[in-house]
Structure 1
Amino acid sequence: MSATPVRTPVGIVGAGPAGLFLAHLLHRQGIESVVLETRSREEVEGTIRAGVLEQWTVDLMQDLGLGDRMRREGHFHRGITLRFNGESWHLDFEDLTGGKRVTVYPQHEVLRDLIAARLANGGEIRFGVQDVQLHGLTTDRPRITYRNGDGEPEELHCDFIAGCDGSQGTSRQHVEGRTEYQHLYPFGWLGILVEAPPSHHELIYARHGRGFALLSTRSPDIQRMYLQCGPTDNAADFPDDLIWSELHRRLETVDGWTLTEGRIFQKNVIGMRSFVCDRMQHGRLYIAGDAAHIVPPTGAKGLNLAVADAVYLARGLEDFYGRGRRDRLEQYTATCLRRIWKAERFSWYMTTMLHTNPAEDPFEQRIHLADLDYVVHSRAAATALAENYVGLPLD
């Protein structure tokens, strides 16, 4: 027997960046919501994912009162270093963009902050729910059915549903008339976590004949590094000695810079793909975050795109409840897609420029090196890269 249905203005499916930011943005405007999440709180907070926050995302967290720990523990980078042909070139983002920079603060830490603040404010997050189903999306009374953590059926009645349940969630499947665009890259990343002090003060993106490499930081004692590998490779097939050998070769410089080694305590391989769903709403359902788009991590756009979706959707809902206007909700897909396709373009550009693609001929390989050479010697080209990396304006 189903429990008495719960009523809330907005039902949010998914406690990832899009869903949690949306909940906080709505709460600030006095619009209540309930967040449903299939994973436990421990699973959400324990899923380790890197995070590079654009300037406006950092500003938004501070504006929402969520930035205290980020300010203490995040790493604020003035720019990045591009490395190719054994030489390093620093791109000074603050100089190129009028003072903007990026913040390295892992996504799981962002989620911990959002969850803690949401619960402290009395907001609801129902973890561990199962069998989530959406109903009545083309009516003015949509509802969500699910089973709670004890397996009992429950219902959530809403005015609107936000599908923020990721690329494997159910929400996108309810968007009728959609077209899905996808591009699979012929390589992946082997990611490692290392107990070691930083080898460099900012991110290093390296292109090498043997493949791409990325040097990042997680904390003063933990570093994150990546190696280009095959998309279906198994992390267990990469012994530590091989990993260090490849990292040294791909990151080496003619001036004798050295990489600091340490104990590798985590390895994983991630595939690389781009994905866009060209319709992000159906009736009273609006999808956001990974449910609507995926970018390769080279451009550091994934989390920031999810937050932008949440901002645009929150604005539409604020207009609906505060002014009785629907125009922003009606334009939600078009507004989001303008930003999404620019982020997809930039992520594709960074990925193809920095990786060695076995399917490309020597001519194409030289074009990518010429592109890198142009970026580091042209202020206009460097500015274009910097503007995209630190985050394009929301409006």
Structure 2
Amino acid sequence: MEDHGHHPLTADRTRPSRRIPAVWMRGGTSKGLFFRSDVLPSDPAERDALILRALGSPDPYGTQIDGLGGATSSTSKAVIVGPSSRPDCDLDYRFGHVSIQSPLIDYSGNCGNLTAAVGPFAIAEGLVAPVEGVTEVRIWQANIGKRILARVPVRDGLPLETGDYHLDGIPWSGAAIELSFLDPGGSNEAPLLPTGHEVDSLEIPEFGRIEATLINAGNPTVLVRAADLGLTGCELPAQIGADRALLERCERIRAHAAVTMGLGDTPDEVSRSRPATPKLAFVAPAADSLDTRGEPIAAERIDLLARILSMGRPHHAFTGTGAVALAVAAAMPGTLVNATTPWAGQSGVHHCRLGHPSGTLEVGAEVIADANGWQVPRAILRRTARRLMEGVVLVPE
């Protein structure tokens, strides 16, 4: 057959589409579409319309079948990365949680899992010069106004993806990327403890009163006891997701807590326009349980059980920023999370081992008290990341 020089990736199309350079990446237990900031429109509305269409949203069928999104909260995400204007950072990183069925991208919080892929993306794209062995990448998280230090393994000038670090929720091992969330407590929106209390009692219309720890570390997060929801903490995502009454109650708790935290004017407004944050998680004392594979998680391997909801659905593992918030609360005496741990009543440096639906996760947090109240110098999390596909995403004109 004669070759006329046309290739499927470069051939003319009868239906014109915009061709936007992008990379599909996994970070931790999430996947997202990564863009350099200089390839996207400068107008935010035009930029968001392009990202929505690339992911296949809004889709009233809930499948994102005409886009790259995976129709779950863990796979409907976008990341924008570019050089930083700050002298203390190398990159500016903005995260967008793309709604599946609504024309909405929520930029109110960060994705701790995809944060692990930001450094490798930047090194591969030439935004950060590689240092053989380990490259330290200083990241400015623009959503929440916080610095994150990523230590990325590098070999022959490229991010190393293979290794022996196993992250529960991912079938294959990889190279560990250490993320240090620097001074993660509080943000421009709200302080570390938005109400000033380690535990608040919330009155939820139609559901009654429930105690919660409202914390802003990594992301704004609402932490409640599993028992107060009529749960054990061992429940798996399929069981939680099938209970519509439970999900409705959790959303009402989340929305009312957001208003209490100063993150919205009314619960209905929060549910409508701010689905990504705050996250809601529930915890229980360590107990023997099973993960989604049917593998046992022995109580002695963990410090507590935890489950988290993301965009209104149960997460298949545990969100990275949710783990940061939980670890900070676990190291802070007076919170309902701290009371659930073996070190109840103690602050300081703790490595919290949480049991989640896909296995276990360890996250470290340093919490100290001074004249100004609780301070959180850093939280540390390890993840893996991998570049899955690179090229152009086609967006209909």
Normalised by the size of structure 2, how large is the TM-score? 0.28
Q: Which one has the bigger helix percentage?
A: 1
TM-score normalised to structure 1 length: 0.28
